[in-house]
Amino acid sequence: MRSLALLAVLAAGATLAAAPAAAAVTRTLHAPDPRCPDDAVCFWTEPGFDGERQVVRPVPGSRPCTPTPRTHAESAVNNTRFSRLLYLDSDCADRPVAFIPAGENRPSLDPPIAAWR
């Protein structure tokens, strides 16, 4: 009986010890890109955060359609508190093709996007 109780305590301890490591991995996967400031949305003209960068600080409470650099973007970082919708057309008239949750990034946008809100 004691060995079963000891085994249960050891298993619970191993699970708790693994939890912080898993949380650290999750944070690393979604860490903000250091080249994109807080409270900004950044787009690059090439995948992998390469090429020309556009840094935009959205106006609080406003969600206008904003064109991306050189009429397309192939990677993006959203360092704001809100999810952002991504569009193929530069005036956001068509349906969004993707989104970037708050605090996350997309190293590759396929197809490249032309605008966001």
So where are the chain's domains?
1-30, 41-116
pLDDT digits (tens, 9 = 90+) for 40-64: 999 999 999 999 999 988 877 778 8
The first and second tokens of residue 92, run together, are 């956001």
Q: Is the pLDDT of residue 109 over 70?
A: yes
pLDDT band (50, 70, 90) for residue 35: confident
Mean of pLDDT over the chain: 78
Place of tokens 């609080």: 60
CATH architecture of 41-116: Sandwich (2.60)
Are 65 and 86 in contact by the 8 Å Cβ rule? The answer is: no
Give CA–CA dist 68/44, Å, rounded: 9
The model's pTM is 0.67
Non-local CB neighbours of 74 within 8 Å, separated by 6+ positions: 44, 45, 46, 47, 51, 108, 109, 110, 112
Q: What are phi and psi of 55, to 5 degrees?
A: -110, 125
